[in-house]
Amino acid sequence: MYSGSTFTVISGRVMGAHQKIDRVARLHLQRLVPKVQFPAIRTILHFEGGNGPDSIKRKSPAKNEPWHYFQPFDESDTQLLVQIQDHYLALVKSLKDKDDVRAGFEAAWLAHAVVDGLTPAHHYPYEEKLVELMSGKGIETRTTIKHKLVMPGNNRVHQIKNNWKMWGPKGLFVTHSAFELGFATLIAPMRLYRAMPSAEILMAFERLPLDVWYRQVAQDIASSHFYDSFYKTGWTLPLARRVRRQLAPKIVQAVTLIWYRAANEASSSK
C-alpha cells in the first residue's frame, strides 16, 4: 500500500494509506482499552515512510527486502504469515519490556505487513509476472535501482516489449501503483468510524489462531474482486464506493484487532 515517497519520515503523512490506517487504528485501540500500554501514534508513524519497510526497496534493493504479497487461497503460501507472527511476538515482548521505541517499530512494521497482505493489489501474482518480464530471472537479482526499473530482454525488441508490459498503460507496476494511490486518495478524508470492532467481532477474533483469522480476512477481501474490477475499468464510482464502504474499514479493523491482541497478551502475562 502507498506510504509516501519514502525519502523522509513525514512523507505520506497527508495521503499515505499506511499512515492514515495507523492513525485511525490507534484511535480505535484507545477507545477499546483506554488505559492500554501502547506506543503513541507519533512513535509508530516514525517507522513508516522513510523508516518503513518500503524504504528498503530504495536503500538496499533485494537485500532483506520484505515481500508482502499473499495468495489467500493457497494454503502453502505462509511467508507473509511468518513475518506477521514474528512482528507480533516481538511487539508483545517489547510491550512487556516497556521498550516504547522498539514497540513503536514493531507496531508499525506489523501493521504494514498486515495491510499489504490484505490489499487486493498484493493478491495478484506479482512476483510470477515480474519474473516473466525479467526473462526468468528471480526477484533476488534486482540488486540495483537500474535493475528494478529496466526490464531485460533477449534482444532490443523483446526488451522494449517487456518494459512496455511493466511501465505502459495497464503495465504490471503502473496498474499496481494506480490502485494503491487511488486507495490512499479515497481514504484520506474518511473518519472510518465503521472500522471500530464490535463486541461480536472481538469475541470471534479472540477464538481464532492469528494465522487462521488473517487468512480468512484476506480470503473475504480477495473474493470481492476489487483488483479485477479495477484492472478492467479503472477507478469508477461504484468501485470507489465499494472500496470506501467495504475494503477500507476491513483493513483498518484488522490492524486494530491485531494491536488489541498484542496489547492484551502483553498486559495479561506480566
Residue 196, pLDDT > 70, answer yes
| pLDDT grade for 56, boundaries at 50, 70 and 90 | low
End-to-end CA distance of the chain: 35
Q: What cell numbers appear for 11 in the block?
A: 512523507
Residue 63 contacts residue 55 (beta carbons within 8 Å): no
pLDDT tens string 104-153? 999 999 999 999 999 999 998 877 888 888 877 777 766 677 777 788 88
Residue 187 contacts residue 249 (beta carbons within 8 Å): no
| pLDDT grade for 197, boundaries at 50, 70 and 90 | very high
Q: Please tell me the predicted confidence (pLDDT) of residue 64.
A: 62
Q: 170: phi > 0 → left, psi -120 to 50 → alpha, else beta; which? A: left
Residue 260 contacts residue 86 (beta carbons within 8 Å): no
Distance of alpha carbon 177 from alpha carbon 226, whole angstroms: 14
Residue 267, pLDDT > 90, answer no
- What's the length of the chain? 270
Distance of alpha carbon 65 from alpha carbon 221, whole angstroms: 25
Q: Please tell me the predicted confidence (pLDDT) of residue 144.
A: 73
Distance of alpha carbon 95 from alpha carbon 244, whole angstroms: 32
Report pTM. 0.88
- Among 11-25, 163-177, 179-193, 203-217, where is mean pLDDT lowest? 11-25
Mean pLDDT, range 197-205, rounded to an integer: 92
pLDDT tens string 34-44? 888 899 999 99
Distance of alpha carbon 65 from alpha carbon 56, whole angstroms: 6
The secondary structure of residue 244, as a DSSP letter, is I
Residue 187 contacts residue 115 (beta carbons within 8 Å): no
User: Residues of the chain with pLDDT > 70: what percent?
Assistant: 88
DSSP 3-state of 235: coil
Q: Please tell me the predicted confidence (pLDDT) of residue 195.
A: 92
